[in-house]
A and B are shown apart, each in its own frame.
Chain A
């Protein structure tokens, strides 16, 4: 199966998509938790609205990058209206491919001395 090529066909991901995949990288989460995590990790620079979040979730789900999780938290912590999403193996490949793409771009920027001071050294 030409998995690699298929993963690359999703690139480049939109920032919202990449951050959603990233948020799910360390475990399954429900929609609001994804949104909070993205905001926290980006210092509120990427703020997802409900519409953008679920539009992206819908597309990621139908392309098989994420899936709905069957596991639920303990009854006391659970809100039955919430659905939990997890990153699929394919989703992880796509996220990695995107991260590599970004790294490569960053490397090229460095090689060209785009940054006056090596901020990210």
Chain B
């Protein structure tokens, strides 16, 4: 109460004293005021204004020095009290800590991912300046057509926005000179590649401009992991030599343990050392595109300026070389931040999971608040006694907040442990979405997040329970029983919390349900092949040995004959790729697409040329994979390098490019009419780029007439994995220098292709399961509490003739009412929110009736089960016992 006639000095003193804790003020405020009044009067008498000023200074210093000590003492006391209370209610403490740990742990784990992948800058100096460049043929739907050597030279010479521009592509080579021939993933890069990224060598040096000169002695740079795992961190590795592609390469350095973008490689070499990249035709061609290009923005320039710069250069190239950039394929080039490029596939999934984790925490909060309220009902007397003994409202609030803070901190600590132990699993999962996954770890900022989550959580449920202590507690002292009025108020609050929990759980379950439905649909998709008992593997021939189509033809023929002679092999084929191969799942159809022209069909102005994916396959490819012939013939052994060029198309290509005519015998050209290829057959569509992708138009060229094969595909009579060793041996019989890697059954490849939706569904499912358990336990708990509070009332009802069955129904009805309300609210929320996950679903509408009804039924039956136990207890109440009690 503020006295208006109080002198200003006194008012100011009262305001100042408020920094002291409540207990202290209750004890000493009056006296302190008296002392200050006397001191003030005396000071004014003695020295007037200056003396008074001196007194104020001393008073302020005194109070601010005393306040922290007093607060600390109270905190110590409160913590001690809270610990005693927690020990006394071990069951409550354990459940609350576990619930909070699950909520906080889920959030910490997902936040550590979001932080590492989406929020943290790239781990390179001025990482925000790094850009990824793309040439696009928009009208053909090609987002990234990659770069040719000539194009890279043009962009490097003409751009005005980048301080550096480097190229990258990766290949696998066989390395000799270190035990068995070994397949190494090799990054082929410009000499200034590592300078551009700002990476310095750990040992030796990185690449120098001289290394990139045509004819320079071949050099190698080892990645940290490769050096560590394969050479035992040999400090004397620099200067050692290895044989690759029939040339001796010298190791010049080892990279530090930095994340490698865009892909992880074992070794790096300059462009001049790569036999493909340094090949004369390749260097001179504008149309042989296989490189990725990165750049660094000049200081102060924006990504928009770089994009404008590059699209202007693209326009210039288009008018200078009309043959390479046909009109109206929508050719342009754009720059995007490297960070965005590395994370855009992961973003929607991660944000969805973060939202789901936040929901789990909210549910956990509601649940612990509910538990606290239930405990408050039992502690009302204690709190009322403390209140009667002089503890004010804010004092009790402080005590309750201390208790909840301790619970939340314990929950946070346990949650952190949970998050920490799930990190490997999560990193593995996120690794399928972004190369930044290896940066995931629990650092100071994640710890800070956990702390904030714990403190925020404690404030939410601590305040909820403390708010209830606002009720006049003295009433519960007078009231002999457990405070009927307050009890009702608590129950309303608890019911609201339960409804919210059910609603949030419903939304989470819907999210998980939709993902699971989508996954099931995906699994049921007919891929267009028979994947059972098919083994695929990379056969990395040392192609430098086999120059010219004839020698290749001979060795491929020998290989296939040798493999087919193996007992248990039904058929075998070689190809440039195979369905669900991890690289093409990541790269998508664009990575193997080309544009072509159809004989006798001129393009109209503004019309984009036809585009198709391409694979070169040996004749038995179709029978080995079980791809059906629809028209014409399959490829045959007679389609050799010297025979007329032929191609087999899929049904999508027929539908798209020859909708009303027979494509057999039609001719197409992929090089502007220099060579023509005849269509000889039509085969069924294969969903090889992912089960969720509509098969694009596809051309299968005869292997003998096209690129050297990269994979071997074998159909076996028995379990295919059991044949892997024999088949590898067969390959080595043909050429002992061939490394056989990536041995995989097609079923495995198919399964792996669904890894991302499967893991999203399982993580979301885990969160939803947690939510379901917490909410069900919550509903059971509150019904049990309500029953125990109403023992007398129920006893009277039974004494007055109510039948146990009707009591059972009454309690069940109450539980189901709460659950029903929660489900209705959750359904409304889910209708609004599921639109956000639409992009992650496959052939399942976001408002899928089946999912909604199944989840509703599941939640309601869980609620019914949870309410049934307390309901049965209620119906079994003995009226005489109930009335005698209390």
Say yes or no: A82 contacts B65, CB within 8 Å: no
Chain A, range 33-75, C-beta contacts under 8 Å to B: 35, 47-55, 57-59
The segment out of B25-33, B487-495, B801-809 that lies at the interface is B25-33
Say yes or no: B58 contacts A49, CB within 8 Å: yes
Of A50, A59, A81, A82, which is in contact with the most chain B CB atoms at under 10 Å from its CB? A50
Say yes or no: A49 contacts B62, CB within 8 Å: yes
Say yes or no: A51 contacts B66, CB within 8 Å: yes
Q: Does A10 belong to the interface (CB within 8 Å)?
A: no
Q: Does A78 belong to the interface (CB within 8 Å)?
A: no
Say yes or no: A51 contacts B27, CB within 8 Å: no
Closest B residue to A80 using CB positions: B30
Closest Cβ–Cβ distance, residue B219 to chain A (whole Å): 72
Closest Cβ–Cβ distance, residue A51 to chain B (whole Å): 3
Say yes or no: A82 contacts B24, CB within 8 Å: no
Say yes or no: A82 contacts B66, CB within 8 Å: no
Say yes or no: A54 contacts B34, CB within 8 Å: no
Say yes or no: B70 contacts A35, CB within 8 Å: no
Say yes or no: A52 contacts B65, CB within 8 Å: yes
Q: Does B643 belong to the interface (CB within 8 Å)?
A: no
A24 to B39, CA, bound (A): 20
Say yes or no: A52 contacts B66, CB within 8 Å: yes
Closest Cβ–Cβ distance, residue A60 to chain B (whole Å): 13
A55 to B27, CA, bound (A): 11
B62 contacts which of A55, A57, A82, A83 (Cβ < 8 Å)?
A: A55
A54 contacts which of B13, B32, B38 (Cβ < 8 Å)?
A: B32
B31 contacts which of A48, A59, A81 (Cβ < 8 Å)?
A: A81
A contact residues around B36 at 8 Å (CB): 50
Q: Does A31 belong to the interface (CB within 8 Å)?
A: yes
Say yes or no: A50 contacts B32, CB within 8 Å: yes
Say yes or no: A50 contacts B35, CB within 8 Å: yes
Q: Known contacts A47-B58, A58-B27, A81-B30: does B35 contact A53 (CB below 8 Å)?
A: yes
A79 to B34, CA, bound (A): 10
Q: Known contacts A32-B38, A58-B24: does B31 contact A51 (CB below 8 Å)?
A: no
What 0/1 pattern do residues 1 to 38 of B give for CB contact below 8 A with A? 00000000000010000001000100110111111101
Q: Does B59 belong to the interface (CB within 8 Å)?
A: yes
Say yes or no: A32 contacts B30, CB within 8 Å: no
Q: Known contacts A58-B28, A81-B31: does B38 contact A51 (CB below 8 Å)?
A: no
B contact residues around A32 at 8 Å (CB): 34-35, 38-39
Q: Known contacts A49-B62, A50-B62: does B34 contact A55 (CB below 8 Å)?
A: no
Say yes or no: A83 contacts B31, CB within 8 Å: yes
What 0/1 pattern do residues 15 to 32 of A give for CB contact below 8 A with B? 000000000000000111
Chain B, range 66-88, C-beta contacts under 8 Å to A: 66-67, 69-70
A82 to B38, CA, bound (A): 12
Q: Does B61 belong to the interface (CB within 8 Å)?
A: yes
Closest A residue to B34 using CB positions: A81
Closest A residue to B59 using CB positions: A49
Closest B residue to A53 using CB positions: B35
A59 to B69, CA, bound (A): 10
B59 contacts which of A31, A50, A79, A82 (Cβ < 8 Å)?
A: A50
Closest A residue to B16 using CB positions: A51
Closest Cβ–Cβ distance, residue B7 to chain A (whole Å): 16
Of A47, A51, A59, A83, which is in contact with the most chain B CB atoms at under 10 Å from its CB? A51
Closest B residue to A30 using CB positions: B31
Of A31, A47, A58, A81, which is in contact with the most chain B CB atoms at under 10 Å from its CB? A58
Closest A residue to B29 using CB positions: A54
Say yes or no: B58 contacts A54, CB within 8 Å: no
B69 contacts which of A31, A49, A55, A79 (Cβ < 8 Å)?
A: A55
B contact residues around A49 at 8 Å (CB): 55, 58-59, 61-63
A contact residues around B63 at 8 Å (CB): 49-51
B contact residues around A35 at 8 Å (CB): 35, 39
A52 to B65, CA, bound (A): 8
A83 to B66, CA, bound (A): 20
Closest Cβ–Cβ distance, residue B19 to chain A (whole Å): 9
A48 to B63, CA, bound (A): 11
Given contacts A50-B39, A51-B59, A55-B65, 11 further A-B contacts (CB under 8 A): A35-B35, A47-B58, A49-B63, A50-B36, A51-B62, A51-B65, A51-B66, A52-B62, A55-B70, A58-B24, A81-B30
Closest 9 CB pairs of A and B: A49-B62, A51-B62, A55-B66, A51-B63, A52-B62, A49-B58, A54-B28, A50-B32, A51-B66
30 contacts between A and B (CB under 8 A): A31-B32, A32-B35, A35-B35, A35-B39, A48-B62, A49-B55, A49-B58, A49-B61, A49-B62, A49-B63, A50-B13, A50-B35, A50-B36, A50-B39, A50-B59, A50-B63, A51-B61, A51-B63, A51-B64, A51-B66, A53-B32, A54-B31, A54-B35, A55-B69, A55-B70, A58-B24, A59-B69, A81-B31, A82-B31, A83-B31
